[in-house]
A = this chain, B = another copy of it.
């Protein structure tokens, strides 16, 4: 089987967030994995942080008025739109591939694994920091979790550490 025939109509999930690492990972994927004029679909997934419960020093939760809660939700939705729209623009600029965007509330580790499984994607692309040995031990948990738990291939793209 020729390589090109196997490439048709792949679903590639790219985890996007506010950070530069995910922008770099998306760009790398567009340049190195997605072929021009392919039938690939890129699913840009943003894990929307769930609403935080603010707790007082005595352990009781703060109660916010509905106004404040509405503002917080609006801010969260605006952020999701901003991240996914930026990612869409990068796709348009680098490679005119078919793009879908999704924003799902929850921990990115769970959201990425659940959506990848549900949609039966062919590949998951995740950005990661190029940290030194100490930070590395504590961070990079999203890519590590996904590499361990996803059944499909996982591409971890690191943005080189700025020295």
Contact = CB atoms under 8 A, between A and B. Distances in A.
Interface of A: 1-4, 6-7, 10, 28, 30-36, 94-95, 122-123, 128, 130, 136, 140, 143-144, 147-158, 160-161
28 contacts: A1-B31, A1-B94, A3-B35, A3-B36, A3-B94, A3-B95, A4-B35, A4-B36, A7-B31, A10-B32, A28-B153, A32-B33, A32-B122, A32-B123, A35-B35, A136-B148, A140-B148, A144-B144, A144-B148, A150-B158, A152-B158, A153-B155, A153-B156, A154-B155, A154-B156, A155-B155, A155-B156, A156-B156
A152 B156 CA distance: 9
Contacts of A94: 1, 3
Give the oligomeric copy count: 2
Contact of A34 (B3, B10, B28, B160): B3
A156 B128 CA distance: 14
Nearest to A137: B148
B158 A151 contact: yes
A159 to B, nearest CB: 10
B147 A156 contact: yes
